[in-house]
Amino acid sequence: MRLFRKIFKRDGIHVKKRRFRAILFVAGFLLAILSAGGTISAQSGYISARFEYSGYLDSFHKGLENPADINEDYVGWISVDGTSVNYPVVRGPDNAKYLNTTFGGKRNASGAVFMDYRCDGLLGGAVSVLYGHNMKDGSMFAGLKNYLDKDYLAEHKKIVISKAEGGRLVYEVISAFASTASQTSVMLADRLNDYIKNARHAAYAEAGNVPRFLVLSTCVGVPYSVNRIIVYAVLKGTVPI
């Protein structure tokens, strides 16, 4: 009887262990499926956004469709020389609308390139700030991180914005830096002030010209809400309609 009890107790433990292992296996299997599903979903989102924006790009350059007819928040089209940044720009009622909404109004993590709602939608203010996501597939503003390399910056200085109402603004990149979100506004103001104060720009200002700046911002690091990469440029000229 004692031997039977020992064997029964031992076998009971083995059964529990087998059940526990089975539970772990099933849990791991389900996690793998969920992880794969998340990856597939992300890839699907990338493909969908790329397809949408490539269509706008083709229509824009061929003059087939006015982006303003697609989205009334359209303020212009930005293209950065030698990079993949080539997108329509919107300005919403706040800075949240286009975080996860594409130019065409579709729900997508890629969002849209959008102007800070506090800036002049006609791009006539002293500073125009544009935001875009740092997407893992290299789209949107992911390429901004390359500007932290001085050699890259020197070879990719030209930024052009074609305004919704006509005409183009040509900017020259003057600097790029990384910072925390809390430090960004302070560092940006300091660097712009330093640029304005330098001798060459002082002479430019004395000639009666008011400097106008373009700021491009994207998130970087984990979590993405903490750190920023900032690229800023100065307006060098305008091309009339």
CATH code at 96? Answer: 2.40.260.10
C-alpha closest to that of 112 among 81, 137, 141, 83: 141
Tell me what pLDDT residue 8 has: 41
Backbone angles phi, psi at 4, to 5 degrees: -60, -45
Whether residue 52 is contained in a domain is answered as no
Asked if residue 142 has pLDDT above 70, the reply is yes
In which band, very low, low, confident or very high, does the pLDDT at 184 lie, cut at 50, 70 and 90?
Answer: low
Q: Alpha helices of the chain — where are they, by DSSP H?
A: 2-62, 67-70, 150-155, 181-197, 199-206
Whether residue 183 is contained in a domain is answered as yes
Tell me what pLDDT residue 101 has: 95
Asked if residue 35 has pLDDT above 50, the reply is no
Whether residue 133 is contained in a domain is answered as yes
Question: Count of domains in the chain?
Answer: 1
**How many of the other CB atoms lie within 10 Å of CB of 162?**
17
C-beta of residue 161 within 8 angstroms of C-beta of residue 169: yes
What b-and-e string marks burial along 141-150, b requiring 16 or more CB atoms within 10 Å of the CB? bbbbbbbeee
Whether residue 46 is contained in a domain is answered as no
Whether residue 190 is contained in a domain is answered as yes
Whether residue 21 is contained in a domain is answered as no
Enclosing domain of residue 127: 70-239
Residues 6+ apart with CB under 8 A from 33: none
Q: Alpha helices of 63-145 — where are they, by DSSP H?
A: 67-70
Tokens of 26: 């099933």
Tell me what pLDDT residue 161 has: 96
Whether residue 174 is contained in a domain is answered as yes
Whether residue 43 is contained in a domain is answered as no
Answer yes or no: pTM beyond 0.85: no
What b-and-e string marks burial along 83-120, b requiring 16 or more CB atoms within 10 Å of the CB? bebbbbbbbbeeeebbeebbbeeeebbbbbbbbbbebe
Question: What does the pLDDT look like over 61-100, one tens digit per residue?
Answer: 777 789 999 999 999 999 998 888 999 999 999 999 999 9
As a dihedral over the C-alpha atoms of residue 84, residue 85, residue 87, residue 90, rounded to 10 degrees, the angle is 160
105 vs 47 pLDDT, higher one: 105
Q: Which residue has the tokens 């009334």?
A: 72
Which residues are registered as beta bridge partners of 13? none
C-alpha closest to that of 228 among 150, 153, 129, 151: 129
